[in-house]
Structure 1
Amino acid sequence: MATQAKRAPYAPQLRAENYTSREFARAENEHLWGKVWLVAGRVEELKNVGDFLTFNVATESIVVALGKDGLVAYHNVCPHRGRRLADGCGRASQFRCKYHGWTFNLDGKNVLVQDRDDWEGALDDERIDLWPVRVDTWGGFIWISMDMEGESLTEYLETIPEYLDPFELEEMRFRWKVELHLPVNWKVALEAFMEGYHVAATHPQLIKVAGNDYTQSFAQGKHANFGYWKDVQPLGTSSPRLAGNVYADAREGVIEFFRQIEEDLNAIQTDRDFEAAKKIMDVLPPDADAMTAMVTAIELGRQAAADDGTSYPEKLTFEAMAKAGSDWHIFPNCVTLPYFDGALWYRARPDSRDPENPDKCVFEIWSLKRYGPGKEPQVETRVITDPVNESVGLILDQDIANMAQVQAGMKSSRFQYARPNPVQEVEVINFHRTLERYVLGQARG
């Protein structure tokens, strides 16, 4: 009688040097950032002709502006002596170098060289315009690529639009923005949000109301996602890791879930969703089951959005949401967790003030929300340089508390490689395999 062959055990290993080596950081700067598509900002940040923003990554700085015919992007450097032209964000009809006054219009053309006759016409044969950078949009985000011959943004995103277009991220606007300067590698920061395997230990309060916290994760080309597809339990119920449901009244469990997400995270679901969820105490009987309570809360949130002058996305059915899962890593440096009328977006990168230092990064957190016409707030970025003493919110504080301890622990003489979970941490595994192909030319075994 034939026996079925068992699958060989899979125990992936990720080299510690990917996080701790200055040489690896230097190789990333040389072979990664200039070869990929990167999120530079949101379309909503550039509303009028002349509005611009700057995006710094590693040793590069890019300026993106809204020109007369749409978005334009350039290397943020004067071709005369190398001074950066723009800083931060603002509005300008021209970019003028503050060193010697060379000036460029929004088309990137040089319109003024001080004392140009000194070159006796030689500059006519030189490049004196700004170096262009490719720019495109998807999901309401501005994307740039410094590789002028590489794949298009559509090609680069692969299957992501198929899964995430139904969420209509382009219809969302900033709810709040935080920029953290952290003493960790940019990958350590990002990976804190690339798996759900950590939730039970890092966020024990969540497993009381977040249903079954067991995740499955899958590679999607260079990108990856995870979701809660195995033995699905409604939100508002307790994890099987606990002995029974914490809340005997399912309505209370659902409301507590929305409360934690709103008050302790302030992202993904919205304040509008939380207020709507509270109404299930009035419209459902005490013996309502958890699935009914959760679906009713969602539908009340849908009505609240309509009353507020917006809506839930028409194509975002429960089936489309289930297909997408809960979390996406968008290679190399973004992660998003989307919902009907909100989303959480993370962006990580080396600290451009010390780009070869593997122990420093800039980590940004953006909360997005659908607003009725003219109701979106004016949002300023909150900059945090001391996350130990300045809170972002309970859930994010719990995640951030792990990061410096991870970076320090990886430098132990006994720690040679990480051992990611081959089921629940595929986002992390696929990330490093793809990263190594860019940085080293091939993935390690």
Structure 2
Amino acid sequence: MNKPEKIIAEDLSEPLTFPAEAYTSRAYAEAEGDRLWSKVWQQAGRVEEIPEPGNYITYNIGHDSILIVRADKETIKAYHNVCPHRGRRLVGNNCGGGHGLLPQSKGEHSACGRQGAFACPYHAWTFNVDGKATHILDKEDWQGTLTEERTSLTPVQVDTWGGWIWINMDPAAGPLRDYLEPIASLLDPFEFDQMRYRFRVWGVFDCNWKVALEAFLEPYHVAGTHPQLTKYGDFYAWSKALGLHGNDGFDTKDHAADGSAAETTVHRAAKGEDARVSIARMQQEFWDTIGASTTETLVKAAQRLVDELPEGTAPHEVHRHWIESAKADDAMRGVQWPAITDAQMAAAGLALSIFPNMNILPGPTFALYYRVRPYGSDPDRCIYEAVALDRFAPGEEPKTEWTFLEQDLSQWPHVIAQDISNMVEMQRGLKSRGFRGNLPNPWQERKVTNLHRGLARFMGTGAPVPLD
């Protein structure tokens, strides 16, 4: 697509369009490995997964596999998961049950374990947690040419933020914190590093990774995809581009939302004549059909509202009482809330996207996030993950593993299944001769448009252009 004569607004506020190439082209999918995934910071796991020296996980993206290992109490290191001898992967995909190699449909996800050294199963070359070769069978045969540089594992940049482990395959990439701003500053008050896994599920879907991600980048789809939720409130939203990243939050159609947490965030006050009742019903709906975006404490505190407050209490007062009541309940069981203000909660909004492949719905003691990845270089398949984090009392953190769910919608939480139902049909529709290009909502879907502006920056093709 040729560059337009008109320069689009930095905030993407005008109607724009972009082509379907990024979703459907195999050449584009192949090029993503070199132009995108090898250049960006990516969330590769949680620090809690590797608590002790020798603990490791792998992160697979496209044709690359990254081995992440805790070298000592203070240090995490990362390497390309490949033996420098003949190219075999050092660690296969055996996480989540310890049954060896997983079936092909599941074999692109991850591995985990604990060991003090990594021996290649092919020729037994062995490497320590610092990536140095400690055993090379018949090393003298190479006549002194095997230097430490030639035989060490290839390092990968690694850092942590929010309790997550992040990797970047580009040795020249800038610092993680710089890459994450301003999202990092918006989310620091939530102290995600103090949260732990409550559940983590994944699947392989027959759609491009961007199709799967975009299903969660905007609330514009709620009326069509989740009509049962509309009885609890209008889902009209603002959406902002924040550099490569973005966020959104609930709004009114005249943009008169007061900007408070009770108005804009995931745990906002529900609509209805009696906020005591509507908040309780909405929280129960979230718990029953998502299993996230709230906590058991918040649900139970909401159920008591009709007994604790008189009829006619203003919605913002109901919301304040509900939050303070839940906070006190958590304190009694040893769960401390972060010192987060209403203004900080509202600034974070409903959901924040981290380029290129992560979207987070934050709460005071919880987070629901989605991460998606390509399946090899197949433009028609992707790896999709849904993860819930919670704060737990010390010693009460559950033990979790990655749980694989089939594309059968009955296996997924109802609301997520509704989102999944669009994905395959969208992938098919994007290939239609009758599809003339995307028409994202210029107010509510800027995060989607901004994703493609960011992709164009790395990929050099398919940038959004003004809609004539």
Normalising by the smaller structure, the TM-score range is over 0.9
Question: Please, which of 366, 370, 374 is the counterpart of residue 387 of structure 2?
Answer: 366
Partner residue in 1 for 2:166: 143
1:121, distance to aligned residue in structure 2 (A): 1.2
* Displacement after TM superposition at 1:340 (Å): 0.7
Pairing 1:338-377 to 2, within 5 Å after superposition: 338-351=362-375, 355-377=376-398
Please say if residues 180 and 387 of structure 1, whose CA atoms lie closer than 8 Å, have aligned partners that are also in contact. Answer: no
Partner of 1:383: 404
Inter-partner Cα distance in structure 2 for 1:198 and 1:9: 19
Alignment correspondent of 1:82: 87
Contact 2:133/2:151 (CA < 8 Å) preserved in 1?
A: yes
Write out aligned runs for 1:59-138 (5 A).
Answer: 59-68=63-72, 69-87=74-92, 88-124=111-147, 127-138=150-161
SS in 2 for 1:366: strand
> How many Å separate the matches in 2 of 1:332 and 1:60?
16
Structure 1's unaligned 5+ residue stretches are 1-6, 239-244
Letter in 2 for 1:367: A
Q: Identical aligned pairs, as a percentage?
A: 42
For residues 221 and 125 of structure 1, the distance between their equivalents in structure 2, rounded to whole angstroms, comes to 40
8 Å Cα contact 1:74-1:130 kept in structure 2: yes
Consecutive unaligned residues of structure 2, counting only runs of 5 or more, are 1-8, 93-110
Q: Which amino acid aligns with 2:434?
A: R
Cα distance in 1 for partners of 2:379, 2:462 equals: 21
Q: Aligned-pair distance for 1:384?
A: 1.3
Partner secondary structure for residue 279 of structure 2: helix
Q: Is the 8 A contact 1:236 1:256 kept in 2?
A: no
3-state SS in 1 of match to 2:134: strand
Q: Superposition pairs for residues 190-205 of structure 1, below 5 Å?
A: 190-205=213-228
3-state SS in 2 of match to 1:32: helix
Question: Relative to structure 1, is the Cα distance of residues 115 and 125 closer, same or farther in structure 2, using a 3 angstrom cutoff?
Answer: same
Q: Which residue in the other structure is 2:108 paired with?
A: none
Query: Aligned residue for 1:206?
Result: 229
Residue 228, structure 1, aligned to residue 233, structure 2: no
Query: 8 Å contact 1:96–1:104 — kept in the other structure?
Result: yes
The CA distance in 1 between the partners of 2:426 and 2:155, in whole Å, is 39
SS in 2 for 1:73: strand
- Which amino acid counterpart does residue 416 of structure 1 have in structure 2? R
Considering only aligned residues, what root-mean-square deviation do their CA atoms show, in Å? 1.7
Residues 279 and 335 of structure 1: CA distance in aligned 2, closer, same or farther (over 3 Å): same
Q: CA deviation at 1:144?
A: 0.4
Shift of 1:139: 0.5
Give the aligned partner of residue 394 of structure 1.
414
CA distance in 1, matches of 2:168, 2:13: 39
Amino acid at match of 1:301: A
Amino acid at match of 1:419: L
Distance 1:437 1:116 in 2: 46
Aligned to 1:296, the other structure's residue is in SS state: helix
Task: Please say if 1:301 is aligned against 2:326.
Answer: yes
Q: Which residue identity does 1:237 align to in structure 2?
A: A
What is the TM-score of this pair, normalised by structure 2?
Answer: 0.88
Q: What SS is found at the alignment partner of 1:99?
A: coil
Which of 37, 42, 47 is the aligned partner of 1:43? 47
CA distance in 1, matches of 2:180, 2:191: 16
Query: Where does residue 155 of structure 1 map in the other structure?
Result: 178
- What letter matches 1:20 in structure 2? T
Q: Secondary structure at the match of 1:443?
A: coil
1:252 paired residue number: 277
What is the distance in 1 between the residues matched to 2:127 and 2:249? 48
Pick one of 273, 279, 291 that aligns with 2:304: 279
1:418 is aligned with what amino acid?
A: N
Correspondence for 1:182: 205
* Deviation per residue, 1:63-86 (Å, 9 max, x gap): 001002510000000000000001
Kindly provide the CA deviation profile for residues 161-188 of structure 1, in whole angstroms up to 9, marking residues without a partner as x: 2211011111110000010110000000
Q: Which amino acid aligns with 1:220?
A: L
Q: How many Å separate the matches in 2 of 1:57 and 1:364?
A: 13
Q: Residues 205 and 236 of structure 1: is their aligned pair in 2 closer, same or farther, counting only changes over 3 Å?
A: farther
Aligned equivalents of 2:449 and 2:42: distance in 1?
A: 20
**C-alpha separation in 1, matches of 2:460 and 2:274:** 55
1:215 matched to 2:242:
no
Superimposed CA distance per residue, residues 309-350 of structure 1 (whole angstroms, 9 cap, x where no aligned partner): 112111x11111111111111000000000011001110001
| Matches of 1:201 and 1:442, distance apart in 2 | 28
One-letter identity of the residue aligned with 2:71: G
Q: Is the 8 A contact 1:40 1:142 kept in 2?
A: yes
State the distance in 2 between where 1:125 and 1:101 align. 17
Shift of 1:137: 0.3
Q: Which amino acid aligns with 1:282?
A: D
SS in 2 for 1:165: helix
Q: What is the correspondence of 1:316-327 to structure 2 with a 5 Å cutoff?
A: 316-327=340-351
Shift of 1:237: 3.5
CA distance in 2, matches of 1:387, 1:33: 29
CA contact (8 A) 2:24 2:379 kept: yes
Match of 1:440 in 2: 460
Q: How far did residue 365 of structure 1 move?
A: 0.6
Query: For the Cα contact (< 8 Å) 1:268–1:368, is it kept in 2?
Result: no
- Residue 250 of structure 1 deviates from its aligned partner by 2.4
**Cα pair distance change 1:102/1:11, threshold 3 Å:** same
SS at match of 1:329: strand
Aligned-pair distance for 1:25?
Answer: 0.6
Amino acid at match of 2:435: F
